[in-house]
A = this chain, B = another copy of it.
Amino acid sequence: MDYLQQTFTVQFQYKVYFTSHLFTSTNPVFRSFLLDNEQEGVVKKILFVVDKEVTRFHPMLKEQIVEYINTIPSYKLATIITISGGEEAKNNEEYFFKVINAVNRFGIDRHSLVVGIGGGSVLDMTGYASAIAHRGIKHVRIPTTVLSQNDSGVGVKNGVNYLGKKNFLGTFAPPVAVFNDFHFLTTLSERDWRSGIAEAVKVALIKDADFFCWLEENAAGMIAGDKDAMQYQIRRCAELHLQHIAKGDPFEIHSARPLDFGHWCAHKLEQLSDFTIRHGEAVAIGIALDCAYSYLTGRLDEVPLKRILNLLQELGFKLIHPLIEMDTTQHLLLQGLTDFQEHLGGRLSITLLNDIGEGEEVHEMNSDCIVAASHWLQDYCITAQRQTA
């Protein structure tokens, strides 16, 4: 057989910065990043795409950005676009085209930067538009929620929803930098402040038993608003996420996705609830369900199971929801398993739990056992509620 073999590797590098008040004139972090990426004889353009919700709580942000960028002669602010946040940013193609058309109108090229500021959905859509315009414009992520700062915002995925399917269109495209600005978190609702911690529980359960213990010790503090604890949680969760990407299969060429622990159920719950359930809230339920399943199938002991459920409850998560309680809707939830397999293709790959800090990949789940796990979880929550009352 006559052939030529092609083999090459591409290296990707980026820093995830931790700071506060990023665009205050005295904060050197963003300026220093820009100056490190200057190019002789070129004034680079920057296009900002900002979540409307963020500008509502930070009304001076746009002015701050204009002033900040104006002090750096080797860069030029092209424009600042604002778009709706939440799933709407990924559902409505109007926002995607708003970014693409701005790239065209302002002559944003491959040496320019597109900077997204917002929650995970705004960053996913902005990252996608940047990744495919001119075959890839460098993009910077400034996540503004706990969930995006500790999880998706520091990773390499982007995408939009299409034909009613989550992330149907997207790519793997590492950002050139991520800036986790803690100040944005201080204006989150109590619900959003809390819900992102579910991803920390997830990554601790499959990768780091010590971090799980830390979460147990600091759950009450974080819920009460302890900023230092919250910052540590975000940093450690982001770090575990980055390590997982670097050591694993960054562009998911193979099937296993341990970071999707609890997510087959979570994705379906979000969709069935029309995104009234937050991603973190759905992940908490998904973790609880897969832990109950791991317990009922003899994989996980009762003691760690109860520690996990207690931690999730202490973090304020409800572990049951009408959509997984009712027998009539259970078949809809089970469809989540099929959807999850279809998105990836090939064999089903699900992570279950053997112990805290120890996940294991399996290739099938029993439907009757999933239903039994949801019943068990319901009974557990009702009993716990009675004991508290």
Residues of chain A at the chain B interface (Cβ within 8 Å): 1-19, 28-29, 32, 39-42, 44, 100-101, 104, 107, 109-112, 131-136, 154, 157, 159, 162-163, 165, 167-172, 174, 235, 238-239, 242, 245-246, 250-252, 255, 342-347
Contacts and interface: CB of A to CB of B under 8 A. Distances in A.
A338 B337 CA distance: 51
A258 B9 CA distance: 20
A243 B249 CA distance: 25
A344 B42 CA distance: 12
Which 8 residue pairs across A and B have the least CB separation, nearest first?
Answer: A109-B345, A111-B345, A111-B346, A8-B246, A110-B345, A2-B18, A3-B15, A135-B170
Given A136-B172, A168-B133, A171-B132, A2 B17 contact: yes
Chain A interface, >50% SS class: mixed
B6 A111 contact: no
B39 A347 contact: yes
A10 to B, nearest CB: 6
Nearest to A169: B132
A236 to B, nearest CB: 10
Given A39-B347, A347-B39, A13 B2 contact: no
Contact of A10 (B13, B32, B165, B251): B251
Contacts of A44: 346
Contacts of A19: 1-2
30 contacts: A1-B17, A1-B32, A4-B15, A4-B18, A4-B235, A4-B239, A6-B13, A6-B242, A8-B11, A9-B9, A9-B12, A10-B10, A40-B347, A41-B347, A42-B345, A107-B342, A109-B343, A109-B345, A112-B345, A131-B171, A132-B132, A132-B170, A133-B169, A134-B170, A134-B343, A134-B344, A135-B159, A135-B172, A135-B252, A136-B172
B4 A13 contact: no
Contacts of A18: 2-4
Nearest to A104: B163
A246 B288 CA distance: 46
A171 B168 contact: no
A8 B110 contact: no
Contact of A246 (B6, B165, B252, B346): B6
A342 B109 contact: yes
A344 B111 contact: yes
Contacts of A7: 11-13, 246
Nearest to A343: B134
Contact of A15 (B6, B162, B239, B346): B6
Contacts of A109: 342-346
Contacts of A1: 17, 19, 28-29, 32
Contacts of A170: 132, 134-135
Contacts of A252: 110, 135
A281 to B, nearest CB: 25
Contacts of A133: 168-169
A161 to B, nearest CB: 12
A104 B165 contact: yes
B39 A8 contact: no
